[in-house]
Structure 1
Amino acid sequence: MSDLEIQAGLGRSPRANRQHRPPRRFGVAEALAGLFTIFLVTAALFPALVAPGDPLGIDPLSAFQSPSPAHWFGTDESGRDIYTRVSHGTGSSLLIGTVATLIGLGLGLVLGTLAGMLGPIVDFTVNRFLEVLFAFPGLLLALLFILIFGPGVATATVAVGLATAPGYARIIRGQLLSVRSSAFVEAATVLGRSPGQILVRHILPNTLAPLFVLGTLGIGQAIVWASALSYLGLGAAPPAAEWGAMLSAGRTYIGSAWWMSFFPGLFIVLTAVSATALGRGIERRLRHA
């Protein structure tokens, strides 16, 4: 069972998912995750509201200043304000994570639908293909793709999307098979509905609903992977205001200017944790709906 299956709760049996327990109210973790997500979305759409400075503007006289009221997150080797750079880098980091997740979900939906709907031969073929892909760690698949097509932001985004697709495909296939065996699909078949009508009206709507949960969880994972690639010099490159690139630039000064790496890394971790908390909260409410 993949990490996303465990987090989303989609690897459990349909009987377990139908247990009737009253949904909990939003807890402290979910509330904090929601507030942090609001800040991220605001910073991504309107960065000047949360950090009006220039993320690329240099000030050599202010280089390597530690966190202070003047510079909340300190400054880097060129005197650039870390808080401003982290805030303005939110848009690019979220965009990379969102696009990579959409790529992975799109490919996973195609492969999962083929495996779950086109009979045992196609199902066997797709499953063997997915097993081959699962034999390699996802990040290794992304590195192989970048090795072939070269480094860059676009390449890293596509690479992360391709690396996450097998996990999505297996989850979607399992959901399709579960929905196909449900009573309302059998009733539609008895009523003489065509396979196309059953697929569009009954199977896909009940399969696509959990994809929102998977997408929420996947964005955090994709941001972590894309930041790792940028840290290795295979994605966004300094002086770009992207969290992984900032981590890469700060590792040279980790002993003397720890804040250059700490705050971009903190935002990566908080974003992944917030996405997981919100995704799990949404999944619980969908399960009890």
Structure 2
Amino acid sequence: MSELEIQVAAGVDTAGGAKTAGRGRVTAVEVIAGLLAALLIIAAIAPRLLAPGDPLAIDPRAAFGAPSWTHWFGTDESGRDIYTRVVDGAHDSLLIGLTATVIGLGLGAILGVIAGTLGAAVDFTVNRFLEVLFAFPGLLLALLFILVFGPGPGSAIVAVGLSTAPGYARIIRAQLIRVRSSAFVEAATVQGLSRRRILTRHILPNTLAPLLVLGTLGVGQAIVWAAALSYLGLGAQPPAAEWGAMLSAGRTYITSAWWMSFFPGLFIVLTAVCATALGRSIERRMRHA
């Protein structure tokens, strides 16, 4: 995980003075990110509201058409409308990103809680296991998983989820240890509360609170990684209207039909930036709550 996410989990002011924004003030960045997120959700749930055409409909006579009033984002080598395909691809790209993030957070939470609660021996074992995983870049772990289980959207989802789990586990373990040594946990211990009650009522709720922030930040990362796998031909396969697969299809024509790669790549970047902005906004508001 990135330094930003580690700071978020530890409660550090990552915004560098964001406290001055006030508890209830809505910034322009939040408004723009919220509007973009709403459009992406609409595109994922009901793409025909934004693009009524068929993303797989071909028209050889319109092949390699530049952006125009008829085709806002141009057309590809088969005459398919790229705008329609980008809108339709939001469903697959967001589904992959969200599902992979849920898998990564779930596994990370389990490993982090086990390491932080079951004693020094278990903590040592889990930490050594995480260190072995950290020795490999996350994307390399995903590639190894796909090499074993084969390419495809399902493999890409699980691969990205597994590759992000070690980072989440380390953050959650550190947060649990910090909460466990806090004053309110010591007060609960002095009052004679059972270990189980302290764990379920005090430690775990405060440990898992940053998961919403981490998950929001992680969605953007997962979408980028999934798009990278599709770009390499290991995720969604053509003619699927998935952004990474569209990038891969357009690279052959990058010098003559730049729009085939530009617009899918643009929405990958915008989605990642949007998720990061919303995650930082949620973190700031939780800190001021």
Q: TM-score range by the shorter chain?
A: over 0.9
Alignment partner, residue 173 of structure 1: 173
Q: SS of 2:240's equivalent? A: coil
Alignment partner, residue 282 of structure 2: 282
What's the offset of the Cα at 1:30?
2.0
Q: Which amino acid aligns with 1:94?
A: L
Write the distance in 2 (CA, Å) between the matches of 1:69 and 1:81. Answer: 12
Write the distance in 2 (CA, Å) between the matches of 1:131 and 1:251. Answer: 36
Write the distance in 1 (CA, Å) between the matches of 2:109 and 2:193. Answer: 23
Write the distance in 2 (CA, Å) between the matches of 1:236 and 1:15. Answer: 38
Do the aligned partners of 2:244 and 2:264 also contact (CA within 8 Å) in 1? Answer: yes
Do the aligned partners of 1:36 and 1:274 also contact (CA within 8 Å) in 2? Answer: yes
Alignment partner, residue 129 of structure 1: 129
Q: Report Cα offsets for 1:62-111 as digits up to 9, x if no partner.
A: 11100011111000011110000000110110000000000000110011
Alignment partner, residue 269 of structure 1: 269
Q: Which amino acid aligns with 2:86?
A: V
What's the offset of the Cα at 1:23?
4.4
Q: SS of 2:66's equivalent? A: coil
Do the aligned partners of 1:116 and 1:173 also contact (CA within 8 Å) in 2? Answer: yes
Write the distance in 2 (CA, Å) between the matches of 1:156 and 1:46. Answer: 24
Matches within 5 A, 1:103-182: 103-182=103-182
Q: Which amino acid aligns with 2:244?
A: G
Q: Report Cα offsets for 1:7-58 as digits up to 9, x if no partner.
A: 46336577999x9945443322222111110000010111010100000011
Equivalenced residue count is: 286
Q: Which amino acid aligns with 1:240?
A: A
RMSD: 1.9
Write the distance in 2 (CA, Å) between the matches of 1:145 and 1:126. Answer: 20
Matches within 5 A, 1:126-275: 126-275=126-275
Do the aligned partners of 2:34 and 2:278 also contact (CA within 8 Å) in 1? Answer: yes
Q: Report Cα offsets for 1:124-174 as digits up to 9, x if no partner.
A: 111111111111100000001111111111001100000000000000001
Write the distance in 2 (CA, Å) between the matches of 1:283 and 1:20. Answer: 10
Write the distance in 1 (CA, Å) between the matches of 2:158 and 2:133. Answer: 16
Write the distance in 2 (CA, Å) between the matches of 1:179 and 1:214. Answer: 17
- CA distance 1:34–1:16, change in 2 (3 Å): closer
Write the distance in 2 (CA, Å) between the matches of 1:46 and 1:223. Answer: 20
Alignment partner, residue 7 of structure 2: 9
Q: SS of 1:58's equivalent? A: coil
For structure 2, the residue ranges without an aligned partner over 5 or more in a row are: none
Matches within 5 A, 1:21-100: 21-24=19-22, 25-100=25-100
For structure 1, the residue ranges without an aligned partner over 5 or more in a row are: none
Task: Calculate the TM-score normalised by the size of structure 1.
Answer: 0.95
Do the aligned partners of 1:8 and 1:213 also contact (CA within 8 Å) in 2? Answer: no
- CA distance 1:176–1:49, change in 2 (3 Å): same
Write the distance in 2 (CA, Å) between the matches of 1:180 and 1:23. Answer: 31
Task: Calculate the TM-score normalised by the size of structure 2.
Answer: 0.95
Write the distance in 1 (CA, Å) between the matches of 2:288 and 2:269. Answer: 29
Q: Identity of aligned pairs, percent? A: 72
Q: Report Cα offsets for 1:174-218 as digits up to 9, x if no partner.
A: 110111111111121122222221111111111121100000000
Write the distance in 1 (CA, Å) between the matches of 2:250 and 2:20. Answer: 47
Write the distance in 2 (CA, Å) between the matches of 1:249 and 1:16. Answer: 38
